[in-house]
């Protein structure tokens, strides 16, 4: 059997648009899952939405009324809308009722744009100690001539297909809705201006070069970045995307390396220098602090790494030193003499 949407909303079949809207508002407030935690509320809320989606649309309401009057196939309306596009237009209603937007699926959510990505090169030292950089980049900013509307008259009509939401909702089967970017306004929620702004050609945005100060925290990794809200491109629905400054390249002119979050040093030392310093090797951290390593207990060419805890790129990582002893070629008389001199 076909559902009686008038009965669901509790209105007469000759109810006006305002009466239908008022009934929907009252029932939505009563059965919204965030306000009513009973098991029946969720199903009731879906049923109310389904009824309002038809009765609030003049074309669908007319079709529905004709079907009620002259008869139609079961499950054509409500259970199967035949792929008709419907827009609920809940945003203004919920904002009016509750004072803020509700998240009903994706309805009522602001459109989230992809961030503007700017690549930057840092030095190895910058990634260890952190740094502040001035970053200059190009973006689309709000056109001042048309106030970002794209129209010479500074006004644009809401998209008639999506009621200004920027989304297009289609019903597929029983209580199943698919929401996509509106194909008529491409998500802007506005119709194309008839009097396009001459400065921005109706886009509402113009090119500009901007410079921002960006702080990169100590230990930042390659391909990581810093996000800055509302510093990306401007869109004609009034929103700015975020800016994402990505560490695309790290130049390393030091003797150090990075393995995971560990600071690594590969240290080559001549065996004669080891003997001269009583098996003590002195190495420097990237911050200049010196560490003395006693290798007297080792007697092979390749030594186990020396580890200084918590001195890597993060508090939980280490400073790791790999020591490579270079042995002289003792066949040469001059090297033999040097060794004898050390023990005299």
Identify which has the larger pLDDT, 38 or 92.
38
Determine how many CB atoms are found less than 10 A away from the CB of residue 150. 24
Helix axes 17-31, 90-98, angle to 10 degrees: 60
Percent of the chain with pLDDT over 90: 37
**pLDDT number for residue 272:** 77
Distance between alpha carbon 307 and the CA centroid of its chain, in Å? 37
> Is the model's pLDDT at 91 over the cut of 90?
no
* pTM of the full structure: 0.59
Dist CA 162 CA 113 (whole Å): 18
**pLDDT number for residue 178:** 67
Concatenated DSSP letters for 196-238?
B-TTTTTSSEEEEEEEEEEEEPTTPPTT-EEEETT-S-B-TTS
The most confident of 285-294, 322-331, 333-342, by mean pLDDT: 285-294
Dist CA 58 CA 64 (whole Å): 10
Instruction: Name residue, tokens 């869109």.
Output: 235
Sign, CA torsion 273/277/279/282? negative
Q: Three-state SS for 270?
A: strand
Q: Confidence class of residue 189 from pLDDT cuts 50, 70 and 90?
A: confident
What the block records as the tokens of 319 is 């400073």
Between the alpha carbon of residue 16 and those of residues 27, 65, 68, 316, the distances in Å are 17, 14, 18, 67
Identify which has the larger pLDDT, 162 or 283.
283
Summarize pLDDT for 221-265 with one digit per residue, the tens. 999 999 999 999 998 778 899 999 999 999 999 999 999 999 999
Identify which has the larger pLDDT, 181 or 84.
181
Dist CA 55 CA 1 (whole Å): 18
**Mean local confidence (pLDDT), 263-288:** 88
Report the residue count for the chain: 344
Dist CA 150 CA 186 (whole Å): 15
Concatenated DSSP letters for 7-49?
HHHT--TT--HHHHHHHHHHHHHHH-TTT--SHHHHHHHHHHH
Percent of the chain with pLDDT over 70: 75
Dist CA 311 CA 285 (whole Å): 9
**Mean local confidence (pLDDT), 200-208:** 91
Q: Are 186 and 165 spatial neighbours (Cβ–Cβ below 8 Å)?
A: no
Q: Three-state SS for 150?
A: coil
Identify which has the larger pLDDT, 51 or 33.
51
Summarize pLDDT for 154-185 with one digit per residue, the tens. 888 888 878 887 776 666 555 556 677 777 77
**pLDDT number for residue 102:** 41
> Is the model's pLDDT at 216 over the cut of 80?
yes
């Amino acid at each position: 059997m076909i559902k009686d949407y008038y009965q669901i909303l509790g209105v007469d079949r000759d109810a006006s648009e305002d009466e239908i809207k008022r009934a929907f508002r009252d029932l939505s407030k009563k059965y919204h899952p965030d306000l009513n935690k009973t098991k029946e509320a969720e199903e009731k809320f879906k049923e109310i939405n389904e009824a309002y989606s038809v009765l609030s649309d003049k074309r669908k309401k007319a079709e529905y009324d004709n079907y009620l009057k002259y008869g139609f196939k079961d499950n054509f309306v409500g259970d199967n809308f035949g792929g008709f596009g419907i827009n609920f237009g809940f945003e203004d209603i919920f904002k009016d009722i509750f004072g803020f937007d509700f998240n009903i699926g994706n309805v009522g959510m602001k459109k989230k744009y992809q961030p503007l990505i700017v690549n930057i090169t840092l030095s190895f030292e910058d990634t260890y100690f952190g740094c502040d950089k001035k970053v200059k980049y190009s973006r689309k900013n709000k056109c001042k001539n048309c106030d970002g509307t794209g129209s010479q008259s500074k006004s644009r009509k809401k998209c008639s297909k999506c009621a200004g939401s920027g989304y297009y909702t289609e019903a597929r089967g029983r209580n199943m809705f698919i929401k996509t970017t509106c194909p008529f306004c491409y998500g802007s929620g506005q119709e194309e201006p008839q009097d396009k702004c001459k400065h921005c050609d109706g886009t509402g945005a113009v090119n500009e070069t901007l410079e921002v100060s960006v702080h990169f925290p100590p230990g930042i990794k390659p391909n990581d970045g810093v996000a800055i809200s509302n510093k990306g491109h401007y869109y004609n629905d009034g929103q700015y995307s975020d800016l994402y400054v990505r560490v695309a390249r790290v130049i390393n002119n030091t003797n150090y390396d990075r393995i995971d979050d560990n600071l690594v040093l590969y240290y080559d030392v001549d065996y004669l220098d080891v003997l001269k310093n009583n098996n003590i090797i002195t190495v420097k951290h990237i911050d200049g602090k010196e560490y003395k390593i006693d290798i007297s207990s080792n007697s092979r060419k390749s030594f186990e790494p020396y580890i200084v805890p918590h001195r890597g790129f993060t508090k939980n990582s280490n400073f790791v030193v790999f020591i490579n002893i270079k042995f002289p070629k003792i066949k040469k008389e001059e090297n033999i003499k040097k060794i004898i001199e050390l023990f005299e």
